[in-house]
Structure 1
């Protein structure tokens, strides 16, 4: 049984690939998190302005507004909100740029659902222990 506070945890998942989005959503809900999805960067920015999240998982390559722009918005306006970047492993320069902008972690695609769960939990524990 998960601690009660985990069921209150809101995670925003920003991903334009429907199959990856569904996989992320399924795994996070299975781990007892509340999940809100955005299929592009523009939708992500709208959701970030409308609700409070505890973690954001974002792809970097997104339509309309890129994942880098979403990350930049978060770190400028919600600096304490942890962000995990999802990207293809061969985009090393882009990944380094994401860390320079303030990304808290990186998960390479394709990813292991178990690794995803572990990294999300670890980051949320670190985030909530500093509050």
Structure 2
């Protein structure tokens, strides 16, 4: 049992906590639960978790605020946010605060399981746990979302920054289009390609023959770092 991934579920809805606890235990995880951010904080002072499943809308401290505190403390535990808010602005706010993934309620339990396993796989990948990644003359700070070429700050749009955060966190490994634009979001495959091309204009000497941000045919994209 000690070898199983240990997940902390934080949600003020007891029914959801109980359902997630039962389902995830049945699928091979150790589970602890908390009803508030304050309770979660106390548990995390004692236990090192492999992943946190966190509701955004909670009484008192919100999931966004709690995630911001985690990142300010230097805690890089993967955070999967859950929310009844399905607007893209809410998803972006969660990612900008430092969460690793976002799932809108209601959701299919199988999709939650796939998201969890995907986040846990990323833990051993080259970009994970780094404050910043370097490629060629560029450095990208994951928490601040800052791209620099030497000392020069490169301006990024919100969408470009979000894409680059995902690519950098999974540097050296393929990021499928679905991770950049989850099914059901307003981002279609064409929109993803447009954002990738815009990023290439900013980081590649020859965007038509990219060195750093390359296409993996039939799958997605990979960011090659130094």
The alignment's TM-score, normalised by the length of structure 1, stands at 0.87
1:78 deviates by: 3.9
The alignment covers a number of residue pairs equal to: 126
Matched, 1:19 2:11: no
Partner in structure 2 of residue 32 of structure 1 = 28
Alignment of 1:1-131 (within 5 A): 5=3, 7=4, 9-130=5-126
Query: Which stretches in structure 1 are left out of the alignment for 5+ residues?
Result: none
Q: Secondary structure at the match of 2:123?
A: helix
Root-mean-square deviation (Å)? 1.8
Higher helix share: 1
Q: Which runs of 4+ in 1 moved over 6 A?
A: none
1:46 deviates by: 1.1
1:92 deviates by: 3.6
The alignment's TM-score, normalised by the length of structure 2, stands at 0.52
Residue by residue over 1:44-72, the C-alpha shift from the partner in whole angstroms, topping out at 9 and shown as x without a partner, is 11111121001000001112221112111
Q: Which has the larger radius of gyration?
A: 2
